[in-house]
Amino acid sequence: MNEQISRPVVRLRPKAEARAIRHGFPWVYADELVTDRRTSNLAPGAIATLEDAERRPLATVTVNTASKIIARVLDRDPGAEITQAWLTARLAHAQALRERLFDAPFYRLVHAEADGLPGVIIDRFGDTAVIQPNAAWAEAHIEALAAALAEVTGVTTIVKNGSGRARGLEGLAEEMVVLKGAVAGPIEVPMNGALYMADVMGGQKTGLFYDQRPNHAFAARLARGARVLDVFSHVGGFALACLAGGAESALAVDASAAALGLATQGAEAMGAGARFATRQGDAFATLEALAAEGAQFDLVICDPPAFAPAKSALQAGLRAYERIARLAAPLVAPGGYLGLCSCSHAADLAQFRAASARGIGKAGRRGQLLHTGYAGPDHPMLPQLAESGYLKSLVFRLD
């Protein structure tokens, strides 16, 4: 029987923009889909054929009426069958790119829509992989997804990290499960010459942020012989890369004692423990305290969590980015460098850059913008989806 006939059909409203879907946009919003009783009764994550208002097939989608993103495009073939073989093919395509980019299996393997698996994040840590099924369809297909992942990569341990804001927006419960193998403790991850300790069961997100890899490398070039301050350090992101690059010293600031403990373990594992120090506390308060102490650094980097995760938080988020820049700039020695980062979807590059510049100016400093960085190539961007290019990194030289 034809797949297109044997499964549900959902239809765009007459005013919905079918052309956007045809041109690669991966989402259908709730007000764009006909939500009759039949559609409303579909189980979260159900696979369906999407039609335009004239009943012409457009794509194979997954439907979740509990989400504002009511449908996500899985395949532009309206008759595609979403089986384990389909998942295997998508994962193999993603794996081929990463194997070309990296010499060791430590990277983001799947970056959601940009890798053709909407709402799915998979980070690889050697023989361990962590799946974040942030969309209902991935939750419903988690066993097949894990089996395909093991087949393609050969990993022996697979963790399902079912936590985070995105799952709440999909109506999914929080859950942390080891699907395959066992996790004995933090995993040592080599990156940019540094060694990081990833807690894949209890750390933030999947346990480590791979997206800043190229920006870590740029900062490390500036760090030779430098005194470095890494604010919102997590497990030592910029600090450890800078130590690997020859920094004289690095001070890591974070609110999490556990994260700083892992950063210390990483510094010691790479033989840089004597040049590394930590300070636990609120980042804003710590920046103010360091200024009161007269502290000075040759390189200061601030990599906060998303201050503007949604449009409703944009203005408050931009004020927070401005404040971070204003508090951090006085700690930079003359001729030193200030790195400012944003992972906010809602704040675009121009808005973030303007907020950063305002903060630097209000601190009485003037700077050259040296570098604008983005996520690494294992975090590809889907051109039709601006949200997939969330990370911005700016480096200024202050006089």
Report how far residue 4's alpha carbon sits from residue 48's, in angstroms, rounded to the nearest whole number. Answer: 8
Q: Which residue has the tokens 């980062």?
A: 341
CA-derived radius of gyration, the chain: 22
Residues recognised as catalytic: 343
Q: Which pair of tokens denotes residue 225?
A: 């012989």
Report how far residue 353's alpha carbon sits from residue 369's, in angstroms, rounded to the nearest whole number. Answer: 9
Q: Which residue has the tokens 């997804």?
A: 145
Q: Is residue 130 exposed (0-12), middle (13-18) or buried (19+ Cβ within 10 Å)?
A: buried
Altogether, the residues listed in the chain come to a count of 399
Contact, 160 vs 221, CB < 8 A?
A: no
Report how far residue 321's alpha carbon sits from residue 302's, in angstroms, rounded to the nearest whole number. Answer: 10
* Alpha-carbon distances, residue 61 vs 37, 125, 135, 351, 352 (angstroms): 18, 30, 12, 33, 34
